[in-house]
Structure 1
Amino acid sequence: MAVSEETPLLHTRRQHKQKTKASRVCDKLAVYGSFLGVFLAAADESIVLSTWSVIASEFHRLSQGSWLLAAYNFGWYVSLPVYGTLCRIYGSKNVLISAYALFAVGCLACGTSTSMFQLVLARVLAGVSAGGMVSLVSVILTDMVPADEVVLLRSYANVFNVVGRSVGAPLGGYLISAVGWRWSFIGQFPVAAICLLIGLYGLPSSLNSTKTGHADEGNARHSIMRLDFAGLASFSVTTVLLLLLMQELSAPPESFQIPLTILIPAFCAAVILFVVVEAYWARTPLVPLHLMKTSLGGFCLNQIMMMSSRSGLMSNLAPYLIRVKGATSLLAASAFVLAAVGVSIGALIAGKFIKRWKRYRTMTAIAVFGAVLTYLLIFIRWRNGCHLWEVVYLLPNGIAIGILFTTQFIGMSLGAPNENLTTCITTYYLAQQLGNIIGPAANVGVVQRVFMGKLKKNLNGWEEKKFIGQILNDDRFAERLPSVVQYFVRWSYLNAFQLVPLISAACALIMLPTVLWVKEEKLE
Structure 2
Amino acid sequence: MVQRHGDEQSHVMEREPLLSGTAQPDSDYHACHSISEEDTGNGVLKPVPEEDEEQSIGRGETESVKDNAHVNVLKIISVMLLGIFVAQCDGSILMATHAIIASEFNALKDSSWLIISFSLAGAATQTLYGKLSDIYGRKRMVIIAYTMFMVGCAIVGVGQTMWQVVLGRIVSGAGASGMSALVSVLITDLLPLREVAQWRAYVNLVATLGRSIGGPLGGWLADVIGWRWSFLGQVPPITLAIILCSAYLPSHTSTVDEQDAAATDLLKKSKFSRIDFKGAFLFAALVLAVLLPIELGGVSIPWSHPLIFTLLGASAILFALFVAVEKRQAEPILPLDIFHSKDAILSFFILGFQTAAQLGMMFSVPLYFQVTSNPRPSATVAGAHLVPAVVGNAIGGIISGSVIKRSGRYKSLVIWAVTCSSIGYLLLMLRWHGNTNWFESLYIFPGGFGMGVASSALFISLQMVIDPAHMAPAVSFMYLMQTVWMTIGLPAANAIMQTVLRRKLGVRLLELGYDSAEVAKIISDAVSDVDFIDGATEKVRNAVVKSYIDGLWWSHAFSFSCSIIALVLAVFLKQRRLDGHKSKP
Q: Same fold per TM (> 0.5)?
A: yes
Question: Structure 1: how far apart are the matches of 2:290 and 2:369?
Answer: 32
Q: Which moved more, 1:280-289 or 1:317-326?
A: 280-289
Indicate how the Cα distance of structure 1 residues 316 and 78 shifts in structure 2: closer, same or farther if over 3 A, else same.
same
Q: Which runs of 5+ in 2 are unaligned?
A: 1-40, 42-70, 255-262, 580-585
Q: RMSD of the alignment, in Å? A: 4.4
Q: Is the 8 A contact 1:324 1:490 kept in 2?
A: yes
In the TM superposition, residue 421 of structure 1 has moved relative to its aligned partner by 3.0
* 1:190 lines up with 2:245 in the alignment: no
- SS state at 1:523 partner: coil
* 1:234 lines up with 2:278 in the alignment: no
Pick the aligned partner of 2:325 from 281, 293, 298.
Answer: 281
- Higher RCO structure (Cα 8 Å, ≥6 apart): 1
TM-score, normalised on structure 1?
Answer: 0.77
Question: Structure 2: how far apart are the matches of 1:287 and 1:482?
Answer: 60
In the TM superposition, residue 346 of structure 1 has moved relative to its aligned partner by 1.9
In the TM superposition, residue 238 of structure 1 has moved relative to its aligned partner by 1.6
In the TM superposition, residue 456 of structure 1 has moved relative to its aligned partner by 4.5
Indicate how the Cα distance of structure 1 residues 413 and 94 shifts in structure 2: closer, same or farther if over 3 A, else same.
closer
Residue of structure 2 equivalent to 1:45: 91
Q: Is the 8 A contact 1:312 1:504 kept in 2?
A: yes
Q: Which moved more, 1:311-320 or 1:495-504?
A: 311-320
Residue of structure 1 equivalent to 2:399: 349
* 1:315 lines up with 2:366 in the alignment: no
Q: Is the 8 A contact 1:448 1:496 kept in 2?
A: yes
In the TM superposition, residue 70 of structure 1 has moved relative to its aligned partner by 5.2
Q: Is the 8 A contact 2:201 2:397 kept in 1?
A: no
- SS state at 2:369 partner: helix
Q: Which runs of 5+ in 1 are unaligned?
A: 1-19, 249-256
More helix by share: 1
Residue of structure 2 equivalent to 1:446: 496
Question: Structure 1: how far apart are the matches of 2:115 and 2:532?
Answer: 22
Question: Structure 2: how far apart are the matches of 1:31 and 1:359?
Answer: 25
Identity among equivalent positions (%) equals 24
Residue of structure 1 equivalent to 2:172: 126
* 1:164 lines up with 2:164 in the alignment: no
Question: Structure 1: how far apart are the matches of 2:468 and 2:72?
Answer: 34
1:493-514 deviations in whole A, cap 9, x for unaligned?
Answer: 2221111110111111112232
Residue of structure 2 equivalent to 1:14: none
Q: Which moved more, 1:371-380 or 1:382-391?
A: 382-391
Q: Is the 8 A contact 1:56 1:64 kept in 2?
A: yes
Q: Which amino acid aligns with 1:509?
A: I
Question: Structure 1: how far apart are the matches of 2:108 and 2:501?
Answer: 12
Pick the aligned partner of 1:519 from 545, 569, 574.
Answer: 574
Residue of structure 2 equivalent to 1:373: 423
- SS state at 1:518 partner: coil
Give matches, 1:328-347, under 5 Å. 328-347=378-397
Question: Structure 2: how far apart are the matches of 1:26 and 1:417?
Answer: 26
Q: Which amino acid aligns with 1:163?
A: V
Pick the aligned partner of 2:181 from 118, 135, 147.
Answer: 135
- SS state at 1:327 partner: coil
Q: Is the 8 A contact 2:389 2:445 kept in 1?
A: yes
Q: Which moved more, 1:509-518 or 1:201-210?
A: 201-210
In the TM superposition, residue 276 of structure 1 has moved relative to its aligned partner by 0.9
* 1:479 lines up with 2:534 in the alignment: yes
- SS state at 2:385 partner: helix
- SS state at 2:386 partner: helix
Question: Structure 1: how far apart are the matches of 2:73 and 2:225?
Answer: 35
Indicate how the Cα distance of structure 1 residues 286 and 447 shifts in structure 2: closer, same or farther if over 3 A, else same.
farther
Residue of structure 1 equivalent to 2:561: 506
Indicate how the Cα distance of structure 1 residues 148 and 273 shifts in structure 2: closer, same or farther if over 3 A, else same.
closer
Question: Structure 2: how far apart are the matches of 1:452 and 1:37?
Answer: 43
Give matches, 1:416-435, under 5 Å. 416-435=466-485
* 1:219 lines up with 2:274 in the alignment: no
Residue of structure 2 equivalent to 1:17: none
Indicate how the Cα distance of structure 1 residues 171 and 428 shifts in structure 2: closer, same or farther if over 3 A, else same.
closer
Q: Which amino acid aligns with 1:277?
A: L
In the TM superposition, residue 426 of structure 1 has moved relative to its aligned partner by 2.6
Q: Which moved more, 1:217-226 or 1:433-442?
A: 217-226
1:231-254 deviations in whole A, cap 9, x for unaligned?
Answer: 211221121022222437xxxxxx
Residue of structure 2 equivalent to 1:406: 456
- SS state at 2:481 partner: helix
Indicate how the Cα distance of structure 1 residues 372 and 54 shifts in structure 2: closer, same or farther if over 3 A, else same.
farther
- SS state at 1:519 partner: coil
Question: Structure 2: how far apart are the matches of 1:139 and 1:366?
Answer: 26
Give matches, 1:44-193, under 5 Å. 44-47=90-93, 71-84=117-130, 95-107=141-153, 122-137=168-183, 159-169=202-212, 171-173=214-216, 175-176=218-219, 179-180=222-223, 183=226, 186-193=229-236
Residue of structure 1 equivalent to 2:297: 245
Q: Is the 8 A contact 1:376 1:505 kept in 2?
A: yes
Q: Which amino acid aligns with 2:178?
A: G
Indicate how the Cα distance of structure 1 residues 106 and 315 shifts in structure 2: closer, same or farther if over 3 A, else same.
farther
Q: Is the 8 A contact 1:350 1:403 kept in 2?
A: yes
In the TM superposition, residue 285 of structure 1 has moved relative to its aligned partner by 5.1
Q: Which moved more, 1:485-494 or 1:173-182?
A: 173-182
- SS state at 1:187 partner: helix
Corresponding pairs, count: 491
In the TM superposition, residue 118 of structure 1 has moved relative to its aligned partner by 7.2
Question: Structure 2: how far apart are the matches of 1:289 and 1:301?
Answer: 17
Q: Which moved more, 1:503-512 or 1:32-41?
A: 32-41
Indicate how the Cα distance of structure 1 residues 407 and 101 shifts in structure 2: closer, same or farther if over 3 A, else same.
closer
Indicate how the Cα distance of structure 1 residues 113 and 258 shifts in structure 2: closer, same or farther if over 3 A, else same.
farther
TM-score, normalised on structure 2?
Answer: 0.70
Q: Is the 8 A contact 1:296 1:416 kept in 2?
A: yes
In the TM superposition, residue 195 of structure 1 has moved relative to its aligned partner by 2.1
Question: Structure 1: how far apart are the matches of 2:164 and 2:78?
Answer: 33
Indicate how the Cα distance of structure 1 residues 91 and 300 shifts in structure 2: closer, same or farther if over 3 A, else same.
closer
* 1:496 lines up with 2:551 in the alignment: yes
In the TM superposition, residue 129 of structure 1 has moved relative to its aligned partner by 1.6
1:361-381 deviations in whole A, cap 9, x for unaligned?
Answer: 233222222211110111122
Indicate how the Cα distance of structure 1 residues 385 and 260 shifts in structure 2: closer, same or farther if over 3 A, else same.
farther
Question: Structure 2: how far apart are the matches of 1:300 and 1:269?
Answer: 24
Indicate how the Cα distance of structure 1 residues 455 and 220 shifts in structure 2: closer, same or farther if over 3 A, else same.
same
Q: Which moved more, 1:159-168 or 1:174-183?
A: 174-183
Question: Structure 1: how far apart are the matches of 2:490 and 2:341?
Answer: 28
1:430-458 deviations in whole A, cap 9, x for unaligned?
Answer: 22222122111211232233334444454
Q: Which moved more, 1:422-431 or 1:287-296?
A: 287-296
Q: Which moved more, 1:116-125 or 1:511-520?
A: 116-125
1:85-133 deviations in whole A, cap 9, x for unaligned?
Answer: 5557777666544433433443455568899877766544332221233
Question: Structure 2: how far apart are the matches of 1:88 and 1:341?
Answer: 34
In the TM superposition, residue 136 of structure 1 has moved relative to its aligned partner by 3.9
Indicate how the Cα distance of structure 1 residues 380 and 497 shifts in structure 2: closer, same or farther if over 3 A, else same.
same
Q: Which moved more, 1:292-301 or 1:162-171?
A: 162-171
Indicate how the Cα distance of structure 1 residues 170 and 28 shifts in structure 2: closer, same or farther if over 3 A, else same.
closer
Indicate how the Cα distance of structure 1 residues 55 and 505 shifts in structure 2: closer, same or farther if over 3 A, else same.
farther
In the TM superposition, residue 300 of structure 1 has moved relative to its aligned partner by 1.0
- SS state at 1:203 partner: helix
In the TM superposition, residue 408 of structure 1 has moved relative to its aligned partner by 1.7
In the TM superposition, residue 480 of structure 1 has moved relative to its aligned partner by 4.2
